[in-house]
């Protein structure tokens, strides 16, 4: 990898990957839709001689092509809200793939675990059956098929890096846990998606970014799915305990189940869309990292106490 362009650089995963690329000295173009958010990202990351910024619309291949310069790897970190996923996810991916294919560069697409559906094994590896039973899972599986369509994209090779739910300094409302930690850091009452008893898997975004950037450097990794597992399992109660201790805030944190999400969803449509994904909070998918460890390297595992405390501190920093 000689030079990278990050599409969706101002989002949670995009910002983390942009920062990791910059820290490693890899020439990087951070591509985003809004100049204000690009400026905020620049202020947060700081100055790097190897980092530049480009404003454009990821739905327009010409904008990406104009910004890409001589990049040889494109990180697809752009996402869409839950309530428009079925109509907008694949058109967005097609536009980005069209640009990459015309440029003849490789793609690293960041995705989640929805295509797996309900887990059929204790640890889910890349060979686990993809039998999604939700609308979003089915859309995400169609997205995978589109990305790997060599008949359409003959000049670009693709990696799909699959993450569980994530948290970290750059996480935002797109992450279930992101908005919870933001509220705790701000000293406000917070909501927690799902029950707070069942231990679930989370990945710390700086860890995920480091593993994804390393993955992108290996030519043999392209054309495949790769799991990016988290540190381990943790319950919502333990997350809240650590976050409140780090923030000094002990205000209430309210778990949201089907009824609560449906009621809030009457005014905030994206919240209603979470209901069909609550199965993941009741019987969590836990990713296996064996393939990554065998072919790429060690799994980065920041302890939850350290990662959550660092996230709270970052969110409280003006």
Q: What is the pLDDT of residues 19-56, one digit of tens each?
A: 999 999 999 999 999 999 999 999 988 889 999 999 99
- Give the pLDDT score at 127: 97
Q: Which residues 6+ apart lie within 8 Å of 47 measured at CB?
A: none
- Asked if residue 245 is part of any domain, the answer here is no
pLDDT of residue 262: 84
Q: b or e along 13-47 (b: 16 or more beta carbons within 10 Å of the residue's beta carbon)?
A: bbbbbbbbbbbeebbbbbbbbeeebbeebbeebee
Asked whether residue 150 is assigned to any structural domain, the reply reads yes
Q: Where in the sequence is the domain holding 8, given as residue range(s)?
A: 4-166+202-230+285-301
CA distance 303 to 316: 20
Domains contained in the chain, number: 1
User: Given pLDDT bands bounded at 50, 70 and 90, which one contains residue 172?
Assistant: confident
Share of the chain above pLDDT 90, in %: 87
**Measured between alpha carbons, how far is 254 from 252 in angstroms, rounded to an integer?**
6
CB 95 within 8 A of CB 58: yes
Give the three-state DSSP class for 165: strand
Is the Cα torsion angle 33, 34, 38, 40 positive or negative in sign? negative
Instruction: Give the DSSP per-residue string, 128-156.
Output: S-----SHHHHHHHHHHHHHT-TTT-TT-
Contact (CB, 8 A) for 271 and 265: yes
Q: Two tokens at 153?
A: 């994209």
Q: In which order are the strands placed within the sheet that holds 73-76?
A: 51-55, 28-32, 4-7, 73-76, 106-111, 158-162, 224-227
Q: How large is the greatest C-alpha to C-alpha distance in the chain, in angstroms? A: 55
Mean pLDDT, the chain, integer: 94
Q: What pLDDT score was predicted for residue 47?
A: 86
Answering whether pTM is above 0.85, one says yes
Residue 202 neighbours by CB distance under 10 Å? 26
Considering the domain boundaries, does residue 147 fall inside one? Answer: yes
Q: pLDDT at position 173, please?
A: 64
Name every residue whose Cβ is closer than 8 Å to that of residue 29 and which is 6 or more positions away in sequence: 3, 4, 5, 6, 52, 53, 54, 67, 68, 69, 71
Report pLDDT digits (tens) over 202-212: 999 999 999 99
Q: What's the pLDDT band for 287 if we cut at 50, 70, 90? A: very high
- The mean pLDDT of 266-284, rounded to a whole number, is 86
Instruction: Give a yes or no: residue 17 inside a domain.
Output: yes
Which residues, other chains included, contact 230 with Cβ-Cβ below 8 Å and sequence gap of 6+? Answer: 164, 166, 201, 202, 203, 204, 207, 287, 301
> Does residue 318 fall inside a structural domain?
no
Tell me, yes or no, whether 184 lies in a domain: no
Q: What was the pLDDT predicted at 268?
A: 77
What is the distance between the alpha carbons of residues 206 and 307, in angstroms, rounded to a whole number? 9
In a domain? residue 239: no
Q: What span, in angstroms and rounded, lies between the C-alpha atoms of 123 and 285?
A: 7
pLDDT in tens, 107-121: 999 999 999 999 999
The backbone torsions φ and ψ at residue 210, rounded to the nearest 5 degrees and listed phi first, read -65, -40
For residue 47, is it within any domain? yes
Q: Are 236 and 194 contacting, i.e. CB atoms less than 8 angstroms apart?
A: yes
CATH of the domain at 223: 3.40.50.720
**107 secondary structure, DSSP code:** E
CA distance 264 to 94: 33
Phi (first) and psi of residue 68, to 5 degrees: -70, -25
Residue 202: the pLDDT is: 96
């Amino acid at each position: 990898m000689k030079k990278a362009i990050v599409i969706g650089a101002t989002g949670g995963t995009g910002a983390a990957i942009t920062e990791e690329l910059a820290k490693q000295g890899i020439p990087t173009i951070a591509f985003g839709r809004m100049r204000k958010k690009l400026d905020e990202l620049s202020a947060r990351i700081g100055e790097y001689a190897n980092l530049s910024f480009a404003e454009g619309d990821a739905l327009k291949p010409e904008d990406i092509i104009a910004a890409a310069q001589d990049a040889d790897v494109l990180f697809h970190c752009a996402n869409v809200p839950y309530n428009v996923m079925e109509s907008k996810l694949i058109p967005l991916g097609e536009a980005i793939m069209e640009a990459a294919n015309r440029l003849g560069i490789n793609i690293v697409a960041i995705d989640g675990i929805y295509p797996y559906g309900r887990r059929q094994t204790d640890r889910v590896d890349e060979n686990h059956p993809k039998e999604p039973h939700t609308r979003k899972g089915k859309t995400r599986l169609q997205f995978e098929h589109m990305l790997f369509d060599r008949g359409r994209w003959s000049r670009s090779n693709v990696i799909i890096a699959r993450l569980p739910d994530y948290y970290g300094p750059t996480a935002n409302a797109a992450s279930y846990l992101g908005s919870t930690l933001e509220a705790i850091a701000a000293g406000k009452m917070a909501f927690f998606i799902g029950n707070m008893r069942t231990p679930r898997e989370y990945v710390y975004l700086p860890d995920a970014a480091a593993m994804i950037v390393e993955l992108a450097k290996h030519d043999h990794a392209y054309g495949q799915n790769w799991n990016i597992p988290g540190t381990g399992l943790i319950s919502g109660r333990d997350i809240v305990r650590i976050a409140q201790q780090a923030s000094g805030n002990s205000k209430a944190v309210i778990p949201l189940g089907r009824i609560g999400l449906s009621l809030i969803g009457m005014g905030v449509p994206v919240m209603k869309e979470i209901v069909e994904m609550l199965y993941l909070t009741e019987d969590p998918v836990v990713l296996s990292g064996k393939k990554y460890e065998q072919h790429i390297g060690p799994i980065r595992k920041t302890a939850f106490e350290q990662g959550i405390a660092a996230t709270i501190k970052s969110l409280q920093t003006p």
